[in-house]
């Protein structure tokens, strides 16, 4: 007891001292504040992240030192007092420790802050960077490391950011999955011990786990209430989000590139810029966090060109797969235009002159039209499509090759391979990944996309796919002592290539596809207009998959396609109306042979597409509120989209469970004007399926929010799309 008292009083004394020498560092958005402090001995402390504070409260926080813990702003191995750390560096002389002091703080007029830190012994520096986005309440935090030593240093751990979170009834929402079940929501309380969310795929960030989380501070996560933090790592490769809870007081959250198994070797005089972590905070639950991310993505260039409308497309994949034949494709194009389509996308199978791509085991890299399948080339198809007043798009998978390809025969050294070991193959038993750490390979990728687009300036859309993970860990372009950099440098190389492509082709729309939804992330989305959410187009399961994706990404950048019934993935038979109602909540498309539809279905599709054109601005520019969760007990799922001026809203409602004596909940809207009167109109009426509301019925906003709309939702796979207009 006596000993504890002594320690406390010493710390208290220090507390008085560092109050005297402290320098406050605040990063602010419209509604939030992140607060750090430079204290005695130029140490950096993390103080606070949450809503903006009055001066009086901020001062109290800075004074109020809890002597039981020491929190570093960016804890490093060697001086974090045994606590978990964000960075470990092995110096050129073998020393394994870091001891950072603050050397200066740069504040910019836009509110950005750089905290410059340097090791007290070695000439290495670590710059902590913070960038606030005022309107969307997002703060980015990341690190730049500079090696000023004579030899290379080795980073064994290099997280981009550290955030301590006070313990309490704290819950984590994260997204987990697999091919065809991406972004499945998992929610659990944070407990003592370590929870690491990570990916080791190498090429794709997120088939299994996703690099974004939400942290609910007020117990079980709710959609529209509760203090909630969101974090998204802006990185396309292997990542680690780690919650390390040792002491009773805080959960320590670390986010960054996964350092296992290799770490990073940083050359003398070089700077390593680590990926950014975007944080946001809302007191309006998960929905508030999502809306912040949506607004940030839309207004800050975090998704490419969110200002332009996304075209309604027909993709050939589930219609014909690799079995491309010119007359069939031309018929698809014609049928699509008759339905009101705007863009036709020719998927996999169109290329391969020496080796035809009839099976998914050849030809990647040989990006020349297979004239046996398309005698008039893609030029012919482009013309057919344009003659119908539509745009043309094309599938590519530029980072890959196959054993049976001219590319691999010519450049066997361009693939990643682990020294003399036999190659391991991905998709089709022959697919290999090109070495994007190699500048020559990057030039090849850039030139191939450039020559496709420059040779066919009519191509308005590319689908950039990635179907195999990074299998063979070894690069012939990196020196023997830099092999550990492959995972990081691959993605740096990919991003460099994308930047060069974007500089030359700013107007082409590009979809990010990762063998389904395995590769969308905020590291890549600044270069992509949209992403493919999943290869699972079963509309019922898509409600869950899209729900997960919408937690961090705005709906109109989510590719959502109506496909055939029975579903090719699950065999489920789902009515066409449900399929359209689900696809229309994002970027609408179709992925089937229009000729396989009945006349009634085609007629319905034509009207639904026309409806979508009308509601598209609201899907794109409105705010999304998730209402009834498919994960909940109501047996329903519903979402609302509200226009910026509140004058219009759309309600999507889906029946997810169906059984006798089922209680159908009312669909309560949110964020309407309680005193305004709204008229309702039901869209997408399918012949023979009853209306759920009478068109022109009027309700007050208060009624809609407190009592809610009564919809019958009687049959299995019942769904409803209601437009509300403020009178
Ligand atoms: C995986 C994608 O997710 C599919 O949509 C399709 O493009 C195939 N690849 C083509 O190989």
Q: Answer yes or no: are the C-beta atoms of 50 and 33 closer than 8 Å.
A: yes
Q: Whole-angstrom Cα distance, residue 692 to residue 95?
A: 71
| Atom 1 of ligand 1, nearest CA residue | 515
For tokens 């007629």, the residue is 603
Catalytic residue, chosen from 201, 366, 465, 489, is: 465
| Atom 10 of ligand 1, nearest CA residue | 348
Nearest to 523 by CA among 563, 569, 490: 490
Query: What is the pLDDT confidence band of residue 573, given thresholds at 50, 70 and 90?
Result: very high
Residues 432-441 have a mean pLDDT of: 98
Active-site annotation holds for 307: no
Residues 422-433 have a mean pLDDT of: 97
Atom number, ligand 1, closest to the C-alpha of residue 395: 7
Helix axes of 326-339 and 377-387: crossing angle, nearest 10 degrees: 20
- DSSP state, residue 226: B
pLDDT above 50: residue 568: yes
Q: Answer yes or no: are the C-beta atoms of 241 and 208 closer than 8 Å.
A: no
Helices marked H in 87-234: none
pLDDT digits (tens, 9 = 90+) for 660-699: 999 999 999 999 999 999 999 999 999 999 999 999 999 9
Q: Are strands 558-563 and 530-532 parallel, antiparallel or unpaired?
A: parallel
Rounded to 5 degrees, what are φ and ψ at 108? -110, 160
Nearest to 662 by CA among 719, 713, 721, 722: 713
- DSSP state, residue 274: P
pLDDT digits (tens, 9 = 90+) for 467-505: 999 999 999 999 999 999 999 999 999 999 999 999 999
Residues 6+ apart with CB under 8 A from 1: none
Q: Answer yes or no: are the C-beta atoms of 301 and 522 closer than 8 Å.
A: no
Ligand 1 neighbours, Cβ below 6 Å, are: 317, 347-348, 360, 395, 465, 467, 513, 515-516, 532, 535
Cis peptide before 215, with omega less than 30 degrees from 0?
no
Q: Answer yes or no: are the C-beta atoms of 343 and 508 closer than 8 Å.
A: no
**pTM of this prediction?**
0.96
Neighbouring CB atoms inside 10 A of 236's CB total 29
Q: Which residues of 43-63 are buried (b: 16+ CB within 10 A; e: fewer)?
A: bbbbbbbbeebeeeebeebbe
For tokens 């009055």, the residue is 54
Q: Whole-angstrom Cα distance, residue 319 to residue 563?
A: 8
Neighbouring CB atoms inside 10 A of 346's CB total 28
Read out DSSP for 375-428? Answer: TTHHHHHHHHHHHTT-EEEEEE-TTEEESBSHHHHH-GGGB---TTSPP---GG
Q: Answer yes or no: are the C-beta atoms of 316 and 335 closer than 8 Å.
A: no
Collapse the DSSP code of 651 into the 3-class scheme (helix H, G, I; strand E, B; otherwise coil) and give the result: strand
Helix (H) / strand (E) containing 548: helix 539-550
* 582 CA → ligand 1 middle, Å: 20
Q: What's the token pair of residue 160?
A: 């981009």
Q: Whole-angstrom Cα distance, residue 563 to residue 557?
A: 19
Collapse the DSSP code of 381 into the 3-class scheme (helix H, G, I; strand E, B; otherwise coil) and give the result: helix
| Of 1-15, 556-570, 628-642, minimum mean pLDDT range | 1-15
Nearest to 293 by CA among 238, 212, 239, 185: 212
Q: Answer yes or no: are the C-beta atoms of 204 and 494 closer than 8 Å.
A: no
Q: What's the token pair of residue 265?
A: 């070797």
pLDDT above 90: residue 82: no
Collapse the DSSP code of 12 into the 3-class scheme (helix H, G, I; strand E, B; otherwise coil) and give the result: helix
* 601 CA → ligand 1 middle, Å: 26
Catalytic residue, chosen from 335, 347, 535, 538, is: 535
Collapse the DSSP code of 17 into the 3-class scheme (helix H, G, I; strand E, B; otherwise coil) and give the result: helix
| Atom 9 of ligand 1, nearest CA residue | 515
Q: What are 277's strand-pairing partners? A: 141, 233
pLDDT digits (tens, 9 = 90+) for 18-53: 344 789 999 999 999 999 999 989 999 999 999 999
Q: Are strands 623-626 and 587-591 parallel, antiparallel or unpaired?
A: unpaired
* 425 CA → ligand 1 middle, Å: 18
Atom number, ligand 1, closest to the C-alpha of residue 463: 7
Q: Answer yes or no: are the C-beta atoms of 675 and 659 closer than 8 Å.
A: no
Residue 484: C-alpha distances to residues 153, 301, 415, 479 (Å): 12, 32, 16, 10
Q: Whole-angstrom Cα distance, residue 479 to residue 612?
A: 54
- pLDDT mean across residues, the chain: 95
Rounded to 5 degrees, what are φ and ψ at 277? -115, 125
pLDDT digits (tens, 9 = 90+) for 159-173: 999 999 999 999 999
**Tell me, what's the pLDDT at 18?**
39
Q: Answer yes or no: are the C-beta atoms of 552 and 290 closer than 8 Å.
A: yes
Active-site annotation holds for 137: no
């Amino acid at each position: 007891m006596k000993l504890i008292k002594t320690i406390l009083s010493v710390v208290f004394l220090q507390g008085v001292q560092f109050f005297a020498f402290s320098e406050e560092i605040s990063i602010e958005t419209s509604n939030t504040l992140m607060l750090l402090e430079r204290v005695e001995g130029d140490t950096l402390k993390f103080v606070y992240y949450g809503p903006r504070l009055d001066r009086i409260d901020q001062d109290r926080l800075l004074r109020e030192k809890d002597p039981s813990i020491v929190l570093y702003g960016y804890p490093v191995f060697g001086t974090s007092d045994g606590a978990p750390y964000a960075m470990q560096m092995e110096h050129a002389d073998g020393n394994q420790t870091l001891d950072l002091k603050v050397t200066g703080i740069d504040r910019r007029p836009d509110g950005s802050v750089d905290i410059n830190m340097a090791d007290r012994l070695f000439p290495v520096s670590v710059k902590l960077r913070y960038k606030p986005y005022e309107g969307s309440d997002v703060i980015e935090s990341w690190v730049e490391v500079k090696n000023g030593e004579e030899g290379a240093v080795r980073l064994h751990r290099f997280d981009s950011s550290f955030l301590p979170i006070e313990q309490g009834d704290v819950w984590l929402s994260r997204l987990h999955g697999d091919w065809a079940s991406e972004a499945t929501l998992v929610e659990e309380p944070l407990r003592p011990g370590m929870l690491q969310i990570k990916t080791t795929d190498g090429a794709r960030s997120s088939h299994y786990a996703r690099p974004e989380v939400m942290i609910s501070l007020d117990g079980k996560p709710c959609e529209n209430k509760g203090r909630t933090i969101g974090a998204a790592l802006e990185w396309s490769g292997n990542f680690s989000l780690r919650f390390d809870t040792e002491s009773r007081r805080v959960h320590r959250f670390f986010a960054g590139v996964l350092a296992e198994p290799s770490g990073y070797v940083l050359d003398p005089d070089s700077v390593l810029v680590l990926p950014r972590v975007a944080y946001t905070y809302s007191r309006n639950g998960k929905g508030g966090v999502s809306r912040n991310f949506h607004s940030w993505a839309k207004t800050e260039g975090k998704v490419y060109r969110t200002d332009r409308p996304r075209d309604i497309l027909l993709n050939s994949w589930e219609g014909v797969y690799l079995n491309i034949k010119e007359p069939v494709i031309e018929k698809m194009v014609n049928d699509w235009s008759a339905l009101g389509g705007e863009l036709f996308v020719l998927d996999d199978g169109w290329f391969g002159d020496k080796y035809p791509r009839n099976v998914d085991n050849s030809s990647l890299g040989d990006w020349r039209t297979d004239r046996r399948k398309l005698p008039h080339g893609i030029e012919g198809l482009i013309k057919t499509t344009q003659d119908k007043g539509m745009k043309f798009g094309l599938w590519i998978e530029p980072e890959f090759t196959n054993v049976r390809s001219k590319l691999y025969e010519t450049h066997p050294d361009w693939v990643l391979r682990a020294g003399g070991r036999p190659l391991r193959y991905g998709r089709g038993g022959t697919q290999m990944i090109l070495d994007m750490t190699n500048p020559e390979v990057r030039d090849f990728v850039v030139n191939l996309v450039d020559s496709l687009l420059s040779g066919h300036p009519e191509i308005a859309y590319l689908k950039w796919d990635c179907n195999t993970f990074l299998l063979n860990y070894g690069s012939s372009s990196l020196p023997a002592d830099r092999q550990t950099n492959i995972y990081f440098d691959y993605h740096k190389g990919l991003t460099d290539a994308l930047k060069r492509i974007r500089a030359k082709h700013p107007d082409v729309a590009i979809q990010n596809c990762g063998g389904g939804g395995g590769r969308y992330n905020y590291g890549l989305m600044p270069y992509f207009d949209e992403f493919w959410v999943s290869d699972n187009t079963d509309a019922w399961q898509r409600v869950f998959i899209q729900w997960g994706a919408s937690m961090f990404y705005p709906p109109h950048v989510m590719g959502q396609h109506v496909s055939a019934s029975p579903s090719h993935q699950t065999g489920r038979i789902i009515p066409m109306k449900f399929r359209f109602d689900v696809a229309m909540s994002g970027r609408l498309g179709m992925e089937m042979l229009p000729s396989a539809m009945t006349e009634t279905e085609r007629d319905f599709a034509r009207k639904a597409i026309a409806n979508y054109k009308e509601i598209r601005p609201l899907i794109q520019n409105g705010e999304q509120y998730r209402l009834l969760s498919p994960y909940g007990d109501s047996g329903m799922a519903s979402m609302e989209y509200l226009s910026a001026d509140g004058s219009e809203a759309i309600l999507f409602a889906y029946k997810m469970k169906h059984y006798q004596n089922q209680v159908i909940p009312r669909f309560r809207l949110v964020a309407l004007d309680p005193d305004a009167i709204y008229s309702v109109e039901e869209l997408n009426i399918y012949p023979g399926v009853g209306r759920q509301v009478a068109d022109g019925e009027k309700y007050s906003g208060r009624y809609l929010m407190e009592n809610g709309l009564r919809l019958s939702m009687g049959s299995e796979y019942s769904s409803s799309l209601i437009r509300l207009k403020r009178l």
